[in-house]
């Protein structure tokens, strides 16, 4: 923050009278990490209106309610290359994306009943749902800034023009005034930098609020938000932003920026002086500094694949120690030949699963049994899950057996976690797992349970007492 604090360039948003009145020097930064811990500095108590950072959230609500197909039929996902308040649509008369005002007003309208006259009570109720949802994302109850709301509602000719244009195209199915009212209200909810960081962390975490543990949107919706924020979140400044900061983000003319490092953390910055795009000047700079200093760029290439295979070893190499029972000795002697253990670690996605499976395939001539130990895996995504479970076919086609060790049920958890997703549906659908449902409590033997009795202690010994170097064949 110290590096950027001196920059007083830019102007507070002047077109909403109430926003023009804020202290231009306010400055706050917050970072919320995976377990909900927040680091915050500066004017951390200052509440400001969320403004356009509301757009991805209402979009999430609409996606969750109506699904992607119905949403995409009305709102595009292409960067507009235009200002946020441009009065424009694409060739199908859809707003180009949900991050510009046209898209956001239409998004809000989709929560209202499809009739041209909507009573105020209904708008109140729908706004109640919005507050509920934003609050669940932030992990605390958010409130409306009445004066900013009134200020924008009475001066928002530009947004009225946009909404009536959409209405004239026949794409706004509800009351224009109700849609605008809802939009102005959502923009006038107040947040702190820490709230933005918490909302960001919720999106980063695939929709699970790290403070409350509540799943507030599906993994698939979170992924969609991250995509749209990456391409459209910073308006016509998006290209420069992705290059230099490299984090999906959303700005608001209240001076806030929310940025997300997928899978890791959320950032909230507040500083109300804006650049020509309507993005906070110091907010952009702060994010740039933070990203550089902490190595947060999303394309900071983490090499998952080579480190996934933590160790490969043969059971035959295990010393049978004094502490082993007779039963264990007999068992181990009888079965340990040509049994190889593959220990995986980290979070498993395609890259890591591929490198592990290729290694197993390469070993097939030298083994009869492959024990795939995923007890050190945190999360396994649907693609990696299918690949790991599919090892069964590779092994059995060559007359080999396999055992999957999954004491923490990460396979089952993965099915739960990605249940509502249509991402990679053919690869990861829960139906596919059905044939593999474990009959034993501890182990998902996707393959063959013959070695189950021995498996637990073999692995325990193997982990405790064996070399962890991979043998080279």
Interface with ligand GLN includes 230 (CB under 6 A)? no
Interface with ligand GLN includes 238 (CB under 6 A)? no
Interface with ligand GLN includes 207 (CB under 6 A)? no
| Residues, the chain | 473
d(C-alpha 401, C-alpha 448), whole Å: 6
Residue 250 annotated as catalytic:
no
Interface with ligand GLN includes 151 (CB under 6 A)? no
Residue 134 annotated as catalytic:
no
263 in helix, strand or coil? coil
Rg (CA), the chain: 27
Total residues contacting ligand GLN by CB under 6 A comes to: 11
Interface with ligand GLN includes 133 (CB under 6 A)? no
- Catalytic position from the list 27, 59, 134, 183: 183
Interface with ligand GLN includes 253 (CB under 6 A)? yes
Going 238 to 240 to 242 to 245, the CA torsion angle's sign is: negative
- Going across the sheet that includes 48-49, the strands are 48-49, 189-191, 143-144
Residue 183 annotated as catalytic:
yes
d(C-alpha 416, C-alpha 421), whole Å: 10
Residue from 27, 48, 84, 149 touching ligand GLN (CB under 6 A): that is: 84
DSSP letter for each residue of 134-194:
HHHHHTS--EE-HHHHHHHHHH-HHHHHHHHHHHHTT---S-HHHHHHHHHHHHTEEE-HH
Interface with ligand GLN includes 85 (CB under 6 A)? yes
Interface with ligand GLN includes 258 (CB under 6 A)? no
Residue 235 annotated as catalytic:
yes
Interface with ligand GLN includes 446 (CB under 6 A)? no
Q: Is 152 annotated as a binding residue?
A: yes
Residue 270 annotated as catalytic:
no
Determine contact, residues 55/294, Cβ cutoff 8 Å. no
Mask of contacts with ligand GLN, 183-202, x by CB under 6 A? ----x---------------
Interface with ligand GLN includes 271 (CB under 6 A)? no
- CB burial of 206-229 (b: ≥16 within 10 Å; e: otherwise) equals bbbbbbbeebbbbbbbbbbbbebb
- ∠ CA(170), CA(172), CA(177), 5° rounding? 125
- Catalytic position from the list 253, 312, 339, 411: 253
Chain position whose Cβ is nearest to ligand GLN:
52
Residue 152 or 381 with smaller CB distance to ligand GLN: 152
Contacts (Cβ under 8 Å, ≥6 apart) of 254 = 13, 19, 22, 48, 49, 50, 51, 53, 148, 272
Contacts (Cβ under 8 Å, ≥6 apart) of 330 = none
Q: Is 159 annotated as a binding residue?
A: yes
- Catalytic position from the list 27, 134, 184, 235: 235
Please, which of residues 290-319 interact with ligand GLN by CB under 6 A? none
Interface with ligand GLN includes 27 (CB under 6 A)? no
Determine contact, residues 10/1, Cβ cutoff 8 Å. no
Interface with ligand GLN includes 252 (CB under 6 A)? yes
Determine contact, residues 169/93, Cβ cutoff 8 Å. yes
Residue 38 or 284 with smaller CB distance to ligand GLN: 284
Interface with ligand GLN includes 278 (CB under 6 A)? yes
Q: Which residues are catalytic?
A: 52, 55, 183, 235, 253
Which residues sit in the known binding site for substrate?
52, 101, 152, 159, 183, 235, 253
Which residues sit in the known binding site?
52, 101, 152, 159, 183, 235, 253
Rule CB under 6 A: which residues touch ligand GLN? 51-52, 84-85, 101, 152, 159, 187, 252-253, 278
């Amino acid at each position: 923050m110290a590096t950027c604090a001196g920059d007083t360039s830019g102007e507070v948003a002047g077109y909403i009278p109430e926003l023009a009145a804020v202290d231009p020097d306010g400055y706050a930064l917050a970072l919320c990490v995976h377990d909900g811990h927040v680091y915050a500095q500066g004017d951390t108590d200052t509440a400001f209106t969320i403004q356009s950072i509301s757009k991805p959230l209402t979009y999430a609500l609409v996606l969750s309610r109506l699904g992607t197909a119905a949403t995409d039929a009305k709102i595009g996902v292409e960067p507009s290359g235009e200002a946020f308040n441009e009065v424009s649509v694409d060739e199908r008369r859809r707003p180009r994306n949900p991050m510009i005002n046209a898209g956001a007003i239409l998004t809000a309208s989709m929560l209202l009943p499809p009739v041209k006259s909507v009573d105020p009570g209904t708008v109140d109720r729908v706004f109640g749902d919005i507050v509920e949802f934003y609050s669940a994302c932030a992990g605390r109850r958010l409130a409306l800034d009445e004066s900013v709301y009134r200020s924008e509602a009475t001066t928002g000719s530009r947004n009225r023009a946009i909404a009536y244009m959409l209405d004239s195209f026949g794409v706004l199915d509800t009351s224009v005034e109700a849609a605008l009212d809802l939009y102005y209200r959502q923009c006038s909810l107040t947040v702190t930098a820490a709230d933005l960081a918490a909302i960001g962390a919720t999106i980063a975490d695939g929709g699970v609020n790290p403070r409350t543990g509540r799943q507030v949107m599906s993994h698939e919706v979170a992924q969609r938000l991250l995509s749209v924020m990456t391409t459209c979140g910073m308006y016509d400044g998006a290209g420069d932003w992705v290059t230099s900061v490299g984090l999906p983000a959303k700005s608001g003319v209240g001076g806030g920026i929310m940025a997300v490092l997928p899978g890791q953390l959320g950032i909230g910055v507040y500083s109300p002086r804006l650049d020509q795009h309507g993005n906070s000047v110091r907010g952009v700079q702060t994010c740039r500094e933070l990203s550089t200093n902490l190595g947060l760029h999303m394309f900071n290439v983490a090499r998952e694949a080579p480190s996934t295979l933590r160790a490969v070893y043969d059971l035959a190499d295990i010393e049978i120690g004094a502490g082993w029972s007779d039963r264990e000795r007999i068992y181990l002697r009888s079965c340990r030949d040509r049994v190889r253990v593959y220990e995986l670690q980290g979070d498993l996605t395609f890259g890591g699963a591929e490198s592990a499976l290729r290694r197993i395939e390469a070993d097939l001539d030298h083994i009869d049994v492959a024990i795939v130990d995923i007890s050190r895996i945190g999360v396994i995504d649907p693609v990696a899950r299918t690949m790991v479970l599919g090892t069964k076919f590779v092994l059995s086609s060559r007359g080999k057996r396999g055992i999957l060790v999954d004491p923490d049920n990460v396979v089952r958890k993965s099915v739960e976690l990605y249940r509502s997703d249509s991402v990679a549906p053919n690869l990861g659908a829960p139906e596919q797992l059905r044939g593999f449902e474990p009959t034993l409590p501890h182990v998902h033997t996707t393959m063959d349970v013959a070695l189950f009795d021995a498996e637990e202690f073999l692995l325990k010994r193997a982990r405790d007492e064996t070399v962890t170097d991979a043998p080279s064949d």
